[in-house]
Amino acid sequence: MRRRRNVKIVATLGPASSDYQMIRALFEAGADVFRLNMSHGSHDDFRARHAIIRQIEKDTGRPIAILADLQGPKLRLGTFKNGKEELENGQAFRLDLDETPGDAKRAYLPHKEIFDALEPGASLLVNDGKIRLKVGECGADFANCTVVAGGEISDRKGVNVPDVVLPLAALTKKDRADLEVAFEAGVDWLALSFVQRPADVEEARGLVKGRAAIMVKVEKPAAVNVFDKILESCDGVMVARGDLGVELPVHAVPPLQKRMIRKCRAAAKPVIVATQMLESMIESPMPTRAEVSDVAAAIYEGTDAVMLSAESAAGDYPVEAVTTMNNVALEVESDPTYRNVIEASRGAEKNSIADAIVSAAREIAETTDVNAIGCFSQSGTTVYLVARARPRVPIIALTSEVDTARRLSLTWGAHCVVTEEVGRFKEAVVRAVRAALADDFATAADQIVVTAGVPFNQPGTTNIVRVAPCDERLIYRAEPE
């Protein structure tokens, strides 16, 4: 089974997509990566869905990536005496550490770290920014605020603090427990929520110990401010537009999305665009035109993947949502303007032998009659470098490491194939040719480009590029290496 598009689709699983039949239907409709959101459901739910995905992987013979998304530090109000209150613009409202249920004048905010970091003039956002408070006098256990934007406030609504870096641990006690369950099952990517600084990523990396690739969800202004350093410290990025659009003006998010995609691509690290992509399909079998344009815009910008959240996890039309994303991707990638945009945004990153080799492979593929680029890679780095340039021909990612193949399933254009270890370059060429023929990338009359590193099975040794015929008889007639 091969995709006829390059951008990847991430589908979140949940109550609407929890059995084998539905998850298999989502995969066949186009999902390449499954996100398991650890903010919801039990550990048993997680294990059950994980087992189903691995069974589908076995049944279809295709590597599938699993992304475990940690909840991160959730900041919430306490309860209210009457369950809810109405706040008016301009009124005074106090937040404090008093556990007494709140009323129209005050509320319990059980997060001392917020009070420790607040300064006069800071903003506090409640319930996804629907209520906005401006901090006046504040101290170690209170903040006297003025209501800037009023409305209904109720039990345990979320609180965002966009103006300050909070002294919060990168991983909560719940995250640490979830992390061990995820690794016990075996996940490929771990998404970190509410990252504020590179040190948050490094703390997580110390716990991960190489058992998964680390993806940072950019959803805090603090993370945007140090994005370049965070990008250096992580393996991939999710542009999490939900909280980002709460803590920043909504009109600031589209240019940030574009800049982050370009920086990730230049760094050869996968990037996902997420949140509200086809939101109306939670309840409707058809998306809005604006939603389709949003998905298309992310694809034109060169993102590695687009993501469905509640649409596939809890919506009424999960398969239709994946199908819609797949169809939008096919249409966009067949548009000549897409190639113009993608190629105009290519960088000139040639800092190593591997950079030069993959650049040569792409140029050969695009200037001659070649059907695909076959990349042998143990760590996946060569595939990331090839994908960075967004070549016009498919990328066949060959590796003997199943974990690498799964992680690469998130990468733009990568068709992942698990193969046995090879010891000679000619053997690698034959494996690449067989994969190209088996998965309908070429016929025996065609040619492919093959890249690999000698000595084999050592990360970071990419140093050979060759144009190979897809007729094995011609390969064996060639002079020995």
| Annotated active-site residue in 217, 269, 406, 466 | 217
List own/partner pairs for 94-97 with CB under 8 A and 24 or more apart. Answer: 94/142, 94/143, 94/144, 94/145, 95/124, 95/133, 95/142, 95/143, 95/145, 96/141, 96/142, 96/143, 97/141, 97/142
b vs e for 74-102, b when ≥16 Cβ sit within 10 Å of the residue's Cβ?
ebebbbbeeeebebeeeeebbbbeeeeeb
In a 13 Å sphere around the CA of 280, the CA atoms on its Cβ side amount to: 11
List own/partner pairs for 45-48 with CB under 8 A and 24 or more apart. Answer: 45/18, 46/178, 46/181, 46/182, 46/185, 47/181, 47/185, 48/18
Q: Is 275 a catalytic residue?
A: yes
The arrangement of secondary structure in 353-477, i.e. its CATH architecture, is: 3-Layer(aba) Sandwich (3.40)
The predicted model scores a pTM of 0.94
Q: How far apart are CA 435 and CA 378, in angstroms?
A: 17
| Alpha helix segments (H runs only) across 186-277 | 198-208, 221-225, 227-233, 241-247, 253-266
- Which residue do the tokens 């690794």 mark? 183
What is the per-residue pLDDT for 349? 66
What is the per-residue pLDDT for 422? 86
| 76 bridge partner residues | 158
44: enclosing H helix or E strand:
helix 43-60
The maximal CA–CA distance of the chain, rounded, in angstroms, is 85
Any idea of the CA torsion for 239, 243, 245, 249, to the nearest 10 degrees? Answer: -120
- Intrachain domains 8-73+170-343 and 84-160 with the same fold: no
Return the DSSP state at 89: T
Q: Is 455 exposed, middle or buried (0-12, 13-18, 19+ CB in 10 A)?
A: exposed
- Which residue do the tokens 């290496």 mark? 481
Q: Read off the amino acid at residue 154.
A: S
CATH of domain 8-73+170-343: 3.20.20.60
| Alpha helix segments (H runs only) across 390-467 | 402-408, 425-438
Given a contact cutoff of 8 angstroms between Cβ atoms, the answer to whether 450 and 465 are in contact is yes
What is the per-residue pLDDT for 348? 66
Peptide bond before residue 15 is cis, with ω within 30 degrees of 0? no
Residue 27 makes CB contacts below 8 A (sequence gap 6+) with: 56, 60, 64
The DSSP code sequence of 167-180 is ---SS-HHHHHHHH
| Annotated active-site residue in 3, 5, 8, 35 | 35
Q: Is 217 a catalytic residue?
A: yes
Any idea of the CA torsion for 149, 150, 151, 156, to the nearest 10 degrees? Answer: 90
Q: How far apart are CA 194 and CA 165, in angstroms?
A: 11
CA proximity to 207, closest of 190, 185, 220: 190
417: enclosing H helix or E strand:
strand 414-418
User: Where along the chain do its domains lie?
Assistant: 8-73+170-343, 84-160, 353-477
Q: Could you tell me the mean pLDDT of each successive run of 10 residues in the chain, 481 residues long?
A: 94 97 98 96 96 98 97 93 96 97 96 93 93 96 97 94 87 94 97 95 94 96 96 98 92 97 96 97 98 98 98 97 98 97 81 86 92 94 94 96 97 96 88 95 96 77 88 70 48
Given a contact cutoff of 8 angstroms between Cβ atoms, the answer to whether 161 and 188 are in contact is no
CA proximity to 304, closest of 219, 395, 232, 379: 395
Q: How far apart are CA 92 and CA 160, in angstroms?
A: 19
| Annotated active-site residue in 2, 4, 76, 112 | 76
The arrangement of secondary structure in 84-160, i.e. its CATH architecture, is: Beta Barrel (2.40)
> What are the C-alpha distances in Å from 125 to residues 99, 217, 386?
20, 19, 42
